[in-house]
Amino acid sequence: MRWEDRDQSDNVEDRRGNSGSSGGGGRGMPSMSTMMFLWPIVQRLLKTKFGWAIIAVGAVAYFSGFNPLGSITGAGGATSHIDKKADDKQARFISTVLHDTEEVWKEIFTKHGAKYREPMMVLYRGSTRSGCGHASAQMGPFYCPADQKVYLDLSFFDELAKQHNASGDFAQAYVLAHEIGHHIQNMEGTLTKVQKMKQQARGQKGANQLQVKVELQADCYAGVWAHHAHKRFNILEQGDIEEALQAASSIGDDTLQKQAQGYVVPDAFTHGSSAQRVEWFKKGIKSGEISTCNTGI
């Protein structure tokens, strides 16, 4: 991806130097991949009184500010061995991508007679505070509608490459573009609408199905961004699209479930299958039209 020597966004809150403290607020839940990894262990612990005691101690530690999952999953670990030069380059890159999203979405919103509100991006390592509660590396990148900020622990990109075989700068750009897609949904009122629909849904299965539609639309919006960003900034190089598709495929629910437990439970999907995520990103990048991203919500 061509990004060097281009403008970076001013809407970046760099907390990498003071990450790691609990900072108050409620703990966020671990990511889906982490939960699926831990579930077989939790099931065994629930069968004994000693197991219940271990879970209780872990819960108390977690909500007291210590993350007992860090030693198990390897995520959100120490930042003492980080290559600062490489880390700063990573921050400059993702800030450039954020600037590209701002320019593209401002143009699209203006075309539709609306004004685009630029979100903030918070960069951190380990953990930090968000408007939606505590943010930690285990949660992965996320968008918080309450404060309209994208939270991104840069170690996620290491995990994406090493654990999910999805390396490359455009794979990382896709991740951010997906989270910006949630910001678009927030501005459109989609997130509020879906939250109300979830309250009326029949059980967790129905709520999960609604969430899948939200995530697939965000994938499509990421594709729309890529379409226009290339036309405007000529960002794409050979292999970039494949990097994004590999990233989308590698974090599909079915792929993550197979890796974690060896089998797939479609009713538990919250982001969509690998094939679905690839399909909706392709739709967005091919058309460049937000009208293409109607997932039924």
d(CA 235, CA 63) in angstroms, rounded, equals 43
Continuous segment of H or E residues that includes residue 181:
helix 169-188
What local confidence, expressed as pLDDT, does residue 165 receive? Answer: 86
Two tokens at 216? 């697939």
What local confidence, expressed as pLDDT, does residue 33 receive? Answer: 43
Q: Determine contact, residues 188/290, Cβ cutoff 8 Å.
A: no
What local confidence, expressed as pLDDT, does residue 73 receive? Answer: 37
Two tokens at 37? 């990894």
Q: Are strands 120-124 and 149-153 parallel, antiparallel or unpaired?
A: parallel
Two tokens at 36? 């699926």
d(CA 137, CA 20) in angstroms, rounded, equals 10
Two tokens at 251? 């974090």
Q: Are strands 142-144 and 149-153 parallel, antiparallel or unpaired?
A: antiparallel
What local confidence, expressed as pLDDT, does residue 59 receive? Answer: 61
Task: Output b/e per residue, 95-107; b: 16+ Cβ within 10 A.
Answer: bbbbbbbbbbbee
Residues of the chain with pLDDT under 50: 21-37, 62, 64-80
Task: Identify any residues that bridge with 177 across adjacent strands, giving them in sequence order.
Answer: none
Q: What phi-psi label fits residue 217: left (phi over 0), alpha (psi between -120 and 50 degrees) or beta?
A: alpha
What local confidence, expressed as pLDDT, does residue 72 receive? Answer: 38
User: What pLDDT, in 10s, does the model give residues 236-278?
Assistant: 999 999 999 999 999 999 999 999 999 999 999 999 999 999 9
